[in-house]
């Protein structure tokens, strides 16, 4: 059976791609953000995952407001990365992991999550930036399965539903008939609001409570409705649903415990409160 080693959650502000491109990671504005990553890269280098299942939200690149699946899973040999308008460099196409894609899709449908399967799917900064941050040298040693969760066009899926989806994805990974190792990635959040009267809104107290809950009481955020989450984290901060899916995936299989590898929180990068959290799945 495949081995699920743990998960990493990170913010995905497009400007990060610009900073990497310009090589300004050590400048005072960026350093507190980029300094969070080396301990997590070391952990990944030790664990050497073969595959990353990436929970992310598309920002209008592959799905636009006219056709918006609630949950969509990639089932392609490769995923072309493109920039939906931020002016950041694109990655080489991400390599798919077809067998796991279909295993996840079959498992989810069997568990009554009626997902859209995508045999062709462009992926935006939410998929490419975590890979750039985790493998800065550029040779991405992983294949990917993108799992897209709608956080941009109402109605959004409830936190409790996203948690259940994440758990089912984790179960699918744990019983995938493969000798490969798998990590789950969450891309998005934490609190931010890019438009409207509350543009620039950040909620440090809520963010830190949410990050803490993922260790102490993973279902804590499922008590909130989507409107409550938007109120607490901002219209785009609701991307924190990806973190919830990642954490739920780690509850699957034998030994549902986790240990914190490393975390970081820094305000702001662009309009966003940046969060970073790596969790290792333990056997007790």
Distance CA 168, CA 174 (A): 10
The one segment of 1-9, 143-151, 211-219, 268-276 that binds ligand DHB by CB under 6 A: 268-276
Distance CA 242, CA 234 (A): 15
> 72 pairs with which residues across the strands?
116, 148
Residue 260 backbone class (left: φ over 0; alpha: ψ -120 to 50; beta: rest): beta
The yes or no reply on residue 13 touching ligand DHB (CB under 6 A) is yes
How many whole angstroms from its chain centre is CA 275? 11
Among 146, 141, 231, which residue's Cα sits nearest to residue 191? 231
Binders of ligand DHB in range 173-212 (CB under 6 A):
192, 194
Among 212, 220, 147, which residue's Cα sits nearest to residue 185? 147
Q: Is 210 exposed, middle or buried (0-12, 13-18, 19+ CB in 10 A)?
A: buried
Strands 143-149 vs 71-74: parallel, antiparallel or unpaired = antiparallel
192 is catalytic: yes
The one segment of 61-69, 177-185, 266-274, 276-284 that binds ligand DHB by CB under 6 A: 266-274
The yes or no reply on residue 270 touching ligand DHB (CB under 6 A) is yes
In the bound state with ligand DHB, the residue whose beta carbon lies nearer, of 209 and 270, is 270
The one segment of 108-116, 144-152, 162-170, 270-278 that binds ligand DHB by CB under 6 A: 270-278
The yes or no reply on residue 81 touching ligand DHB (CB under 6 A) is no
The yes or no reply on residue 59 touching ligand DHB (CB under 6 A) is yes
125 is catalytic: yes
The yes or no reply on residue 262 touching ligand DHB (CB under 6 A) is no
- Active-site entry in 103, 192, 262, 266: 192
Distance CA 25, CA 5 (A): 28
The one segment of 24-32, 207-215, 218-226, 264-272 that binds ligand DHB by CB under 6 A: 264-272
> Count of residues binding ligand DHB (CB under 6 A)?
12
In the bound state with ligand DHB, the residue whose beta carbon lies nearer, of 152 and 250, is 152
On the question of a cis peptide bond just before residue 190, with omega within 30 degrees of 0, the verdict is yes
In the bound state with ligand DHB, the residue whose beta carbon lies nearer, of 10 and 251, is 10
Contact in structure between 29 and 207 (CB atoms under 8 Å):
no
In the bound state with ligand DHB, the residue whose beta carbon lies nearer, of 4 and 240, is 240
Q: Binding residue for ligand DHB (CB under 6 A) from 271, 275, 276, 281?
A: 271
Rg of the chain (C-alpha set): 17
What is the smallest separation between the CB atom of 250 and ligand DHB, expressed in angstroms?
Answer: 23
**Active site (catalytic) residues:** 125, 192
Q: Which residues bind ligand DHB (CB under 6 A)?
A: 12-15, 59, 192, 194, 236, 239, 270-272
């Amino acid at each position: 059976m495949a081995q699920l080693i743990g998960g990493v959650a990170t913010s995905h502000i497009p400007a990060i791609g610009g900073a990497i491109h310009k090589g300004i990671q050590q400048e005072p504005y960026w350093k507190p953000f980029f300094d969070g990553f080396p301990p997590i890269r070391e952990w990944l280098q030790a664990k050497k995952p073969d595959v990353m299942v990436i929970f992310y939200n598309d920002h209008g690149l592959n799905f636009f407001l006219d056709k918006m699946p609630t949950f969509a899973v990639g089932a392609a040999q490769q995923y072309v990365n493109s920039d939906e308008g931020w002016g950041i460099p694109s990655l080489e196409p991400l390599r798919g992991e077809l067998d796991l894609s279909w295993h996840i899709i079959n498992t989810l449908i069997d568990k009554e999550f009626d997902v859209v399967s995508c045999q062709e799917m462009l992926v935006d900064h939410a998929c490419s930036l975590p890979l750039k941050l985790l493998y800065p040298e550029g040779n991405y040693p992983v294949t990917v399965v993108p799992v897209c969760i709608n956080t941009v066009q109402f109605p959004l899926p409830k936190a409790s539903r996203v948690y259940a989806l994440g758990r089912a994805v984790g179960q699918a990974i744990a019983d995938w008939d493969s000798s490969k190792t798998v990590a789950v990635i969450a891309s998005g959040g934490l609190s931010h609001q890019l438009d409207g009267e509350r543009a620039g809104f950040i909620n440090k107290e809520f963010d830190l409570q949410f990050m803490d809950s993922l260790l102490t009481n993973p279902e804590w955020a499922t008590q909130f409705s989507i409107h409550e989450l938007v109120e607490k984290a901002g219209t785009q901060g609701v991307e924190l649903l990806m973190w919830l899916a990642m954490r739920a995936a780690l509850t699957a299989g034998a030994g549902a415990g986790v240990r914190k590898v490393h975390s970081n929180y820094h305000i702001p990068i662009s309009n966003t409160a940046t969060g970073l959290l790596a969790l290792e799945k333990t056997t007790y």
